[in-house]
Each structure stands twice: as C-alpha cells, then as structure tokens.
Amino acid sequence: MGGRFRIPDSLDRCRCHHERGQLLDQSFDDVWAECEDLFAQARKTLASLKEIQPAHVVQASVNALFRTTHTLKGMAGMLGFPSFSRAAHRMEDIFDLMRQGRLRSTDSLVETLEAGMMALEAGLNGLRRGRPEPEDYLFPLRKQLGELEALARPTEGGSQDLTSLLDLPPDLLKALSEYERTRVTALLMSGMPIHGATICLEFATFDERLRVLNEALAALGELVSTLPCDVPEDREGLGFLLLAGCPSLDAAMLPLLEGELVGTALLADPSRVPESLRNPPAAPEEEALPPAPEPEPAAPPPGPPVQEVEILRLPAHRVEALEARLMAVGQLRDAASLLLHKGMDIRDDRPAALMNQIQDGLLEVQKSLLQMRMVRVESLFSRIEPMVKSLSRDTGKPVKLAFQGGDLELERGLLGRLTDPFLHLVRNAVDHGLEPPSERLALGKSEAGSIRLSASQRGRNIRFDIRDDGRGFDLARIETRGVTLGLLKAGQAHTPERLHRLTLEPGFSTQERASQISGRGVGMDVVRSEIEALGGEIHLSSEARRGSLIRLSIPLSRAVVSCLKVRCDRQSFGIPLGNVVRVQAGDQVHRGGDQVTVFGNSIPMESLQACLGLAEPDGQRSFVVLSTQGASARSVEVAIGVDAILGRGEVLLRSLPELAHAAGIMGGSPQEDGILWVLDPEATLSLAMNSLMRRVAHV
C-alpha cells in the first residue's frame, strides 16, 4: 500500500468530429463554452417569464432571449451547421414576434419555447459527440410553432400603428424603426403612457452619461427609443430624446447632472386610443396548441462516441485572485531559497514556518482550481422542470415535481454526462411510472403524481435518487418477458432485485411497441452503460401501486477534504474530520476487541489494521472514535486503533481507478513521502463492526 502510482491525467484533450469526419479547429472550444452559457441563461430567463412581473421586465427578458437565439444562429453558421442555424433562426423569429407585442406571453407559449430551446441544446450536445446533424431540430414542435406564427400574422386590415399619437415633429416620427413603432402601439393599447425626456450631454462624456440615463429610464418602465435631436441655441453639447413607456416621469426620478435636462413631457396619452382598440379580444393561444407532437422520423444511427473536451469559462476576477495567490507562494519560495543560501542556525525556525506557509498557499491554489470546475446540481434540475411540464401536458397527467440537494456541487464535466441519463429516467417515470388521473383516483391516490429528485453526498459517492409514487415495476410481466427472451429459466424463483436488474439488459422491454415519449426498458441499458462508465452504480427498486426508486451512485473524482492524519503499519491515512468524535492517546496499550472509556461510556475498539485486512499489531496507545452521525449524535461509535496521530490538515482528494473496489478507502492524495490514503468513514465503521463480530464468534 505504500507504493507510489501515477494519477491518470483527466485533462487529456481530444477533438469533436464534424458529421463529415473532419476535426474541428481548437479555436472552436470557446464557441462551445459560449453556447453552454447562452443555453443556461435562456433556461433561467424562460422560467422567469412564468412569474408575474412588470411589463418592462417581461420585455427586457424577451429582448434578451431574442439576442441569445440570434447569437446561437451566428455561432452555428461559424461552426458549419446549417440545420442548427435554421432552427435557431426560427426561434429568433418567435421571440421577435413576442418583443413586437404580436404574441402574448402565456405559460403554454413559454413551455413550447422551452421545448424548442431544449431541442436546440440536445442537438448541440449531439454535434459535440460527433453525431450527424438532423434535417430539422424542431420537427416535433412544428405544429405548435406554426400555429404561433399564424396567430401573430397581421389581419387583412394590416397591423395598427399608433405612433401618430406621439406629440413629436414629423422628422422624429420618421426616425422610429418598425420595432419601436410596434412597441409604442403595444404600450398605448395596454394603457401605458409614453413620456419623453430631452437632454443635452457634454461631448466628452455623452456616451457614459447616456448609458446611465437609459438604464435609469428602463428601471422606471420600458425604454422604447433614444433619438438624436436638436438642442436650444443657448446650449452646447449633444441632444437626445429618450422615449419611455412608464406611468409617470419626473426629473427627480433621473440621475441628472446640472445642465443636462432640457425638459420632460407626456408625449402620448392612452386615453386618446380608440375604444375599439384598447381591449382587443384575447387570442385563443391556450387552445391552439395540440396535445402531442407527431413522432419524429427515425434518425440515422449515431457514430462512435467521441470524448468531449471540458471547457471552463471563468470570471476575470477569479483568475486574477489565483494569479495573486501564486505570486505570493512564489515570494515565499524566494524567501526560503535566500535563507538556504545564507546558511541557517539549527535553532532557526523560520524555514519550517515558510514551508508551512508555502504548503497552505499551494492548497489554496488547488482549492481555487477545483472550485473553477464545479457547478451546482440545480443546473441539472433546471433542465428537468420544463421537460416534465411539457410531458405533463402531452400525457394529460398532472405531476408534482420536487427537488432536494440542488446546492451540492459537482464537476461540470461529470454533471454534463449525467444529463442524458437523468432526462431519460424522468421521462420514463412520467410516461410509464405514473398512472393516469382516473386510475390514481380509483386507487385512492391524489390526482397528481409525484416525482422527487434528490442529491446527497455519501462518503466518496454522490447519490441521486429519482422517486415516483406510481404503479411500480410489473415484476410478473418482467419475469414472463425474461423467460420469453431466454434471459431467465422457466420454473425457477427469481428475486425482485434480479428482476429489476433485468430491465437494464440491452434491448429488454415489456412494451409491445415504443412510446412516442419513452419506453420502460428502451434505452435503460444505455443509462446503465453511462453510469458504469463513470465508475458508478444504478439500483432499482419498487413496490406495486406504491411507486419506484432509481438510485444512482457516482464516485467523487476530486475534492478538498479536512482530515485527521494518522499512521498505521508505516502507511499514512486520512480520516475526514466530520466523522471524528474524539482523538485519544496515552500510555495504556489497547488491542482489537477491547473496551475503551470515552466520555464515561464504554465503546468497542478495533485496530485499523484489522479493518483493512493487514497484520495486527501487538497493541496500540492511540485511537480515534468514529461515528456515522457525527459528534452531535453518537448512537453508533467505534474506537479505531492507530499507531500514531500525525495531526490535521486539508488534502486534495482524488478518486482513482485503482481504488474502485478497495474496501474502506475513499481516495488518495499524493504526498511527499508517498500516497495518503483517505478512509471512507462509513465503510471503515462497517468493516470494524464486522471484524468485532468475527472476534465474538471466534471466526
């Protein structure tokens, strides 16, 4: 156990392939990362549109979505993906109709747009894996999008233009763009007045001052336009007319400097809008959308999987902080080098102090680098919520969705690889796990089904649970199908665990034909393969008419852990401090199987060597009390005997392939004198209890 080993380099880079097999240039890495950020921002913005907000806030969100899809369209053209570019352009057109006021934001509209953005994001991920580009990314949504476009089409009489109500000179009216005319009309028809502020700004600072005043007006309502205009003869500078839709406008509301304001005025009163135009009949958007899309044409088989390149986009201040920390460590190194060259008194403790500072500094750098790779689990959950709402509408099944553990952080690359398996499992839960409302009511259940997703850290693993309160797996049907396919022997008894695992076999399904949404078993082998490729495990369980649980357990790849360092059999070990109740050392010698007194209580002791299957020592004077529930609740405690206590510190933990099946070991951390093995506290306690039971049984 004391030997050194090489840590696999997880940063080896490889290239994504174009559908024609060509390698993409390395400069496109930043484009992929930029697209990821754009999709993340779009998800948050679309979710915000479902909340009740002021009109100007909604308009700002729609404008942001319009810019996002416009940028995606341009990036797709840069990468050479014409179908993606066409799909992004169509989404851009829909957002343009919304920002012009020709489509009203409703929950059903937003859900359709969420589905469209998810289709684009899924398509982009497929391109990164080298899959061929489909002809139409938005094919399943073609009816919904087509009806939205038809809904926004002008009537035979043409669209209304109420800009003539603005009290402006003809030359300024002509300067308004089509979009600005549409917004003026929409605001007036909704009952919002149009105000104007005329300002005169100095030549040297006009750009910055104009930005500040525009932002201030946008906070009061909706900034419609910024138009150049003439200034009075007694003024010097650049003149601008700011048009805004807001309830009122007073000079005191704006951060104006002395001499900047020329005047404010009400330019258009909505009371002048004809009565017939103030409250037009609501468009039947909610009923226009069909309940379910038609099946998508079969896609060509995907090519061989291509390893993805992990791309990190970092704020400049975090990089600057890291550079400053590295410079500080470099200065400490120079100071230590100077002392070595001058010669030192053996009693001089400055070199040791400098080394401790260098070690602390390097650990801070490691922690900063690790943090740069982390992302919250809630970013995965945010992709699931709009999909479930869309499935709920398509299947006619009300669904209550709950999340827990969204604050937990994982590496971006790991979370990215979990997205597709998660989406597939949740689709299965909605489509085949949950019963229709009528069936649920007949069973005494609530009409709405429940799906709960949780994330938690357990030792060296991250655990994800997907629970539903549906019908559960039909084990009798699974067994019958397994016998038919020759995977099970007829007449033999099969445990529920074996039957559940059978659903993960390639090609296994109890469905006679594939669903348009998902298929219980169809693709489950792909889920298992992806989880096992990450070094993880998948466990399925269910209870008839009570629901199902799918548990994914994924090993941590790296983390910074606060540890108590101990020595045992010439090998260093780390014990996570969160599970350490007490550390005790003295002259009394203890052996495995003895009882030791801690806080007046007698608890069993077992040597760490016995836990790990090593040769046991004659006795030990030091031990560490571990508890699975931490120091506040010591219902299960065991004293673990060690040869020496080395102190405490933080270590950079790596989960290595060599440790995949090492009982009791959570990971390793390279040290100057070899590998510091970090113990999994819960596994170590379990090993200790088993060893003590064998002692009692004299096995």
Cα angle, residue 174 at apex, residues 168 and 177 outer, rounded to 5°:
110
CA pair distance 629, 497, nearest whole angstrom = 29
- Give the SS3 label for residue 444: coil
Distance of CA 349 to the CA centre of its chain: 48
The end-to-end CA distance of the chain, in Å, is 26
Beta strand pairing call for 601-607 and 595-598 = antiparallel
CB 279 within 8 A of CB 270: no
| Helix H or strand E segment including 462 | strand 461-468
The two structure tokens encoding residue 635: 């219902």
CB 330 within 8 A of CB 151: no
Q: What is the pLDDT, as a whole number, of residue 658? A: 57
CB 95 within 8 A of CB 116: no
Domain boundaries, the chain: 26-151, 163-278, 316-372, 375-555, 558-697
Please identify, in words, the CATH class of the domain defined by 26-151.
mainly alpha
Least Cα distance to 688 among 641, 656, 655 occurs for 641
* 17 DSSP assignment: B
Residues in the chain: 699
pLDDT tens sequence across 540-553: 999 999 999 999 98
Sheet of 461-468, strands arranged across: 399-404, 449-458, 461-468, 547-555, 537-543
pLDDT tens sequence across 223-246: 999 988 888 888 888 999 999 999
CA pair distance 331, 328, nearest whole angstrom = 5
* 330 DSSP assignment: H
Residue 155 burial (CB count, 10 A)? 7
CB 598 within 8 A of CB 641: no
What would the DSSP string read from start to end of 538-602? EEEEEETTTEEEEEEEEE-SEEEEEEEEEEETTEEEEEEGGGEEEEEEEEEEE-TT-EEEETTEE
- Give the SS3 label for residue 653: strand
Residues 6+ apart with CB under 8 A from 465: 452, 453, 454, 456, 549, 550, 551, 552
CB 603 within 8 A of CB 625: yes
Residue 181 burial (CB count, 10 A)? 21
Sign of CA dihedral 524, 529, 530, 534: positive
Q: Encode 475-510 in three state secondary structure.
A: HHHHHHHHHHCCCCCCCCCCCHHHHHHHCCCCCCCC
Least Cα distance to 392 among 426, 345, 347, 356 occurs for 426
Cα angle, residue 341 at apex, residues 340 and 342 outer, rounded to 5°:
95
CA pair distance 348, 571, nearest whole angstrom = 30
CA pair distance 418, 453, nearest whole angstrom = 13
User: Which residue stretches of the chain have pLDDT < 50?
Assistant: 1-27, 155-158, 280-309, 513-514, 516, 519-522, 630-634
Beta strand pairing call for 665-671 and 261-268 = unpaired
Q: What is the pLDDT, as a whole number, of residue 558? A: 67
Q: What is the pLDDT, as a whole number, of residue 182? A: 82
Sign of CA dihedral 428, 429, 433, 436: negative
Domain 558-697, CATH: 2.30.30.40
Check whether domain 375-555 has CATH 3.40.50.970, yes or no = no
Residue 287 burial (CB count, 10 A)? 8
CA pair distance 458, 681, nearest whole angstrom = 10
Distance of CA 600 to the CA centre of its chain: 47
CA pair distance 326, 366, nearest whole angstrom = 11
Q: What is the pLDDT, as a whole number, of residue 314? A: 59
CA pair distance 424, 678, nearest whole angstrom = 35
CB 434 within 8 A of CB 641: no
Please identify, in words, the CATH class of the domain defined by 163-278.
alpha beta
Question: How many helices and strands in the chain, by DSSP H and E?
Answer: 20, 21
Helices marked H in 396-432: 412-428
Residue 268 burial (CB count, 10 A)? 24
CA pair distance 37, 584, nearest whole angstrom = 51
CB 272 within 8 A of CB 189: no
- Give the SS3 label for residue 127: helix
The two structure tokens encoding residue 563: 């540890």
pTM (two decimals): 0.52
Least Cα distance to 659 among 683, 641, 643 occurs for 683
| Helix H or strand E segment including 323 | helix 316-342
Sign of CA dihedral 310, 316, 318, 320: positive
Q: What is the pLDDT, as a whole number, of residue 445? A: 95
CA pair distance 500, 478, nearest whole angstrom = 8
Give the largest Cα separation in the chain, rounded: 106
Q: What is the pLDDT, as a whole number, of residue 266? A: 94
